[in-house]
Amino acid sequence: MSNSNINAAKGRRYTNKEKADIIAFVDKVNADKGRGGQSAASKKYKISPLTISSWIRAGVGGGAAVASGGKVAGPIGKKLSQLQMLHDQIARTEKELAKMKAQFNALKAAL
């Protein structure tokens, strides 16, 4: 592998202040519109949405979008919490349904 290939893989490095400003922009757009902050920031700052997403998940740039405990704050965080709660409820209900089906099949087989 040549040096030109190694250097080509390197992108622009952002300071924590720049990251915090970009994440704050994402939060503002999400608060105003309910969603679309990452896409808007990606277009405005010419950064990959995946890069912005990784900053938010990692809590870098001052952690504007991430609350203590590593949970995402703001409207997105609320929706993620609701999704997790529903997922957990579905899992419990499916487990209960499986038990009921087993009882049903056992009774049916006993007929």
76, two tokens: 């997105």
- Would you state the pLDDT for residue 64? 43
- Would you state the pLDDT for residue 73? 57
- Would you state the pLDDT for residue 63? 43
Structural domain of 65? 12-110
Asked if residue 1 belongs to a domain, the reply is: no
| Domains held by the chain: number | 1
Q: What is the pLDDT of residues 4-45, one digit of tens each?
A: 455 555 678 888 888 888 988 988 898 888 888 899 999 999
Amino acid at 100: M
- Would you state the pLDDT for residue 99? 95
Asked if residue 7 belongs to a domain, the reply is: no
Asked if residue 3 belongs to a domain, the reply is: no
Q: What is the pLDDT of residues 51-93, one digit of tens each?
A: 988 888 887 654 444 444 555 556 677 777 788 888 889 999 9
Three-state secondary structure string covering 13-76: CCCHHHHHHHHHHHHHHHHHHCCCHHHHHHHHHCCCHHHHHHHHHHCCCCCCCECCCCCECHHH
pTM exceeds cut of 0.75: no
